[in-house]
């Protein structure tokens, strides 16, 4: 299970959100996975510790991956590749000449190669395109390793199986029990890893995911598949049905990476309460969702809620900033 490279800044802190807790009338804590690093910050690095280990074991010298134009995952991959002396090739949904800011700017500084693709190419052909890139690299004597979107596959999700163990150790030290763990769902690997880790350790917390794109139905399927893939690596299957996957829908808003004024207003409010910056694409929507659901009573049966801050601060773009 410890088949990983050690590159993330772990364990990450868990702190109580005193002022936010008072406001919503619940004990809410936050795990600062946005502090796993700077260039490698966020949840993706936990997954990459395992994926990149597999790449190195296979003697690969190029990491190939994909994401949106402002992908946190792509940026983290680029930074890890640079650190290890590997090449990196990103397939990004967007076009050349897009404003050079946030993660895209960092990608360029980190020296990646980029293939820009259209929405449809990304949706239907990204794996094919990554395989083509792998093939063309082979012709130049390189060996590429393909990491899927968000590193959300069996091996990547092991990063959050391990994170769950970290949370259980921290609970012991803190003398607290979290009965609800809340995370954003974008490609599902973070949720799946936590869910698997929760079950395999016999822990009884409920794992909640707020999807920021697609639907509850879609992610229940995705997570079930990922749980199967994880068990290939661990050798232990868990017994789970679709209805047990607690995805709370209703907060994608205008869709992936698109923000509504009320979401930005919430992030602004939260920043002033806690001195913590959420991102507009993932954690801002999920924390907004959590606050709304607490108001509605959906968390009444829970005592101590742990929210995972999965990072994303470099994802802000001009349009989102303009809503402030
Ligand atoms: C990718 C990402 C997520 C979603 O994690 P998945 O494992 O893809 O579901 C959440 N927050 C941030 C900041 C991310 O970059």
214 lines ligand 1 (CB under 6 A): no
Classify residue 6: in a domain, yes or no. Answer: no
Is the minimum distance from the CB of 310 to ligand 1 under 6 angstroms?
A: yes
Query: What is the model's pLDDT at position 294?
Result: 98
Q: What is the spatial order of strands in the sheet that 304-309 belongs to?
A: 14-16, 27-32, 304-309, 180-185, 206-211, 246-248
In a domain, 4, yes or no: no
Q: 78 in a domain, yes or no?
A: yes
Q: Does the annotation mark 187 as catalytic?
A: no
The CATH number that applies at residue 108 is 3.40.50.1100
Between the CA of 234 and the centroid of ligand 1 the distance, in Å, is 23
Helix, strand, or coil (residue 83): helix
pLDDT at position 96 is 86
Residues 304 and 202 in one domain: yes
Q: What is the bridge-based pairing of β-strands 113-117 and 87-93?
A: parallel
Asked if residue 187 has its Cβ within 6 Å of ligand 1, the reply is: yes
Q: Is 311 in the pocket of ligand 1 (CB under 6 A)?
A: yes
pTM of the model: 0.98
**Are residues 51 and 156 in contact, defined by beta-carbon separation less than 8 angstroms?**
yes
Pocket test for ligand 1, best of 102, 161, 187 (most atoms within 8 A of CB): 187
Ordered alpha helix ranges (H), the chain: 18-24, 44-57, 72-84, 102-109, 119-139, 154-174, 189-200, 216-234, 261-274, 283-296, 318-322
Domain hosting 280: range is 14-43+152-322
Q: What is the mean pLDDT of each run of 10 residues along the chain (324 residues)?
A: 89 98 98 98 98 98 98 98 98 93 97 98 98 98 98 98 98 98 98 98 98 98 98 97 98 98 98 98 98 98 98 96 95
Terminal CA-CA length for the chain: 44
- 180 and 194, same domain (yes or no): yes
Dist. CA 256 → ligand 1 center (Å): 12
Our answer on whether the CB atom of 279 is closer than 6 Å to any ligand 1 atom is: yes
**For residue 193, which atom of ligand 1 is closest to its CA?**
7
Residue 211 beta carbon below 6 angstroms from any ligand 1 atom: no
CA of 134 to the centre of ligand 1 (A): 25
Output Rg (C-alpha) for the chain, integer angstroms.
19
Atom number, ligand 1, closest to the C-alpha of residue 209: 9
41, 71, 88, 152: the active-site residue: 71
Tell me, yes or no, whether 273 and 227 share the same domain.
Answer: yes
Total number of domains constituting the chain = 2
131 and 225, same domain (yes or no): no
235 and 289 housed in the same domain: yes
Q: What single-letter DSSP state applies at residue 151?
A: G
* 125 & 136 share domain: yes
Is residue 282 lining ligand 1, measured as CB closer than 6 Å? Answer: yes
Other C-beta atoms closer than 10 Å to the C-beta of 239 total 6
Ligand 1 atom at minimum distance from 186 CA? 9
Asked if residue 107 and residue 223 are part of one domain, the reply reads: no
- The residue among 151, 180, 209 that closes a domain is 151
Q: Do 245 and 158 sit in the same domain of this protein? A: yes
Ligand 1 centre to CA of 186 (Å) is: 5
pLDDT of residue 97: 87
pLDDT value at position 2? 66
Distance 140 CA to ligand 1 centre (A): 33
């Amino acid at each position: 299970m410890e088949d990983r490279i050690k590159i993330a800044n772990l364990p990450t802190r868990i702190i109580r959100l005193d002022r936010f807790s008072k406001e919503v009338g619940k004990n809410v804590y936050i795990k600062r996975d946005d502090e796993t690093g700077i260039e490698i910050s966020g949840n993706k690095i936990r997954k990459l510790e395992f994926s990149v280990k597999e790449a190195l074991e296979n003697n690969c010298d190029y990491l190939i991956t994909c994401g949106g134009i402002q992908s946190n995952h792509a940026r983290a991959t680029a930074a890890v590749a640079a650190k290890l002396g590997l090449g990196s090739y990103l397939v990004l949904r967007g076009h050349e000449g897009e404003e050079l800011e946030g993660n895209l700017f960092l990608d360029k500084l980190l020296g990646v190669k980029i293939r820009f693709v259209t929405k449809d190419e990304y949706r239907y052909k990204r794996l094919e395109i990554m395989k083509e890139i792998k093939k063309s690299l082979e012709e130049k004597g390189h060996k590429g390793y393909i990491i899927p979107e968000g590193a959300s596959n069996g091996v990547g999700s092991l990063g959050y199986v391990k994170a769950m163990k970290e949370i259980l150790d921290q609970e012991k030290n803190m003398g607290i029990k979290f009965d609800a763990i809340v995370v954003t769902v974008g490609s599902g690997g973070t949720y799946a890893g936590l869910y698997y880790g929760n079950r395999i350790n016999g822990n009884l917390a409920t794992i909640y995911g707020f999807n920021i794109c697609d639907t509850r139905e879609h992610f229940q399927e995705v997570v079930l598949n990922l749980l199967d893939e994880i068990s290939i690596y661990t050798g232990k299957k868990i017994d789970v049905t679709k209805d047990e996957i607690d995805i709370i829908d209703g907060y994608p808003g205008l869709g992936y990476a698109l923000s509504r004024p009320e979401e930005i207003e919430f992030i602004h409010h939260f920043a002033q309460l806690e001195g913590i910056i959420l991102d507009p694409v993932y954690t801002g929507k999920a924390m907004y969702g959590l606050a709304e659901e607490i108001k509605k009573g959906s968390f009444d049966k829970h005592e101590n809620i742990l929210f995972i801050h999965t990072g994303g601060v470099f994802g802000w773009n001009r349009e989102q900033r303009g809503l402030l």
